[in-house]
Structure formats: structure tokens, C-alpha cells
Amino acid sequence: AYAYEGLVSFKDGAAVPALAESWTISEDGLDIIFNLRVGVKFHDSSDLNADAVITNFNRWFDTANALHGDGVFEAWKNAFGGFKGEVVADGNPASSYDGIEKVNELTVLVHHNMPVDDFLSKISDPAFSIASPAALNAGGFGTADGQDGGTGAYTFKFGDASIDFTPNTGYWDPAA
């Protein structure tokens, strides 16, 4: 159990639900619909919803996005080949990822421009944990000056020379 979680995780070599309770992959492998869990809250008390997921995907993909900051985002580049607007020698997009859209408050549709057979495995990487947009916008995210914007089983606070973890009493999976 962690402080941050992604849409899916991997257990015993298979994708299992995390923040997405289910998903559907189109026959051509270009579209994946994720159905988010109902009632999940970030540690800052804001709701996990489609807009939050879109905010995270947009900050990873778009280097011009204000929330992308000056990060290198190597995990994204390694997983999907590139960023928004980048092309390869033949003029095709460098990234297999093509965008995300809101279907409704708890559903997102991820688009690819080529099939990505191991997409679920790739997004289970902790680098693709979904963070609260409020925490991302507050500044200092990922540093001792930032806010805890996770959804996981533990909340955290930075101490003088430590990080203090506390069980998240509102966690969506009481078994954890």
C-alpha cells in the first residue's frame, strides 16, 4: 500500500483494479475506457474524477502544460515514445499515446494512434500515479514544500528530517 496510486496495478503478472475499477479495450487496441471508483477522495479531500485523471495525463504528455514543469518525465518517454507534438523521421507522432477525453464524471477514454499491447502494464508504473490537481497547482509538488495529493492507504507529512506516514482512515479499500 502506498500514498499514491494509479488507475491499475499489477499483481501476479496481471492488471488489477486500483483507481479504475474496470476498463474496456477496443478491438483495434486504440481506445481504452476506464471506469473510476465511486467515492475515492484525495488526501486533500478533493474527489477523484475524470477531470483529475485528465489533468495528470495532460501534464505527463504535454511539455507546454504548466503542470509539466521542468521535469524530464523519462518514464513517459520510455513507455510511450515521446510527447505531444513530437514526430519521428517519417512524420508520424513519436508518442503512441494520442490523448484523453472525459466521457462522464467517472469515466475517461484514452486514445492511441497505434496499438499498445502492454498499456496496462505501463500505466501501473508508480510514475503514473494520479495526483490531486489542487496539490499539483499548489506548487512544490514532490518536495517538502508541496502538499500530499495522493489517494493511497497512507497519508504523509514531511518532518524536519523524516517523512511521517499515517493510515488513511478514508481509504477506499478497507481491507488494506
Res 25 pLDDT > 70:
yes
What region does 17 belong to: left with phi over 0, alpha with psi -120 to 50, or beta? beta
CA 133, CA 116: separation in Å to the nearest integer? 27
Res 1 pLDDT > 80:
no
When pLDDT is cut at 50, 70 and 90, the band that residue 106 belongs to is very high
Residue-wise pLDDT for 78-99, tens only, equals 999 999 999 999 999 999 999 9
Res 122 pLDDT > 70:
yes
Entry pTM? 0.94
At residue 127, φ and ψ (nearest 5 deg) are: -60, -20
What is the 8-class DSSP label of residue 18? S
Residue-wise pLDDT for 38-62, tens only, equals 999 999 999 999 999 999 999 999 9
Of 27, 31, 23, 25, nearest to 107 by C-alpha is: 23
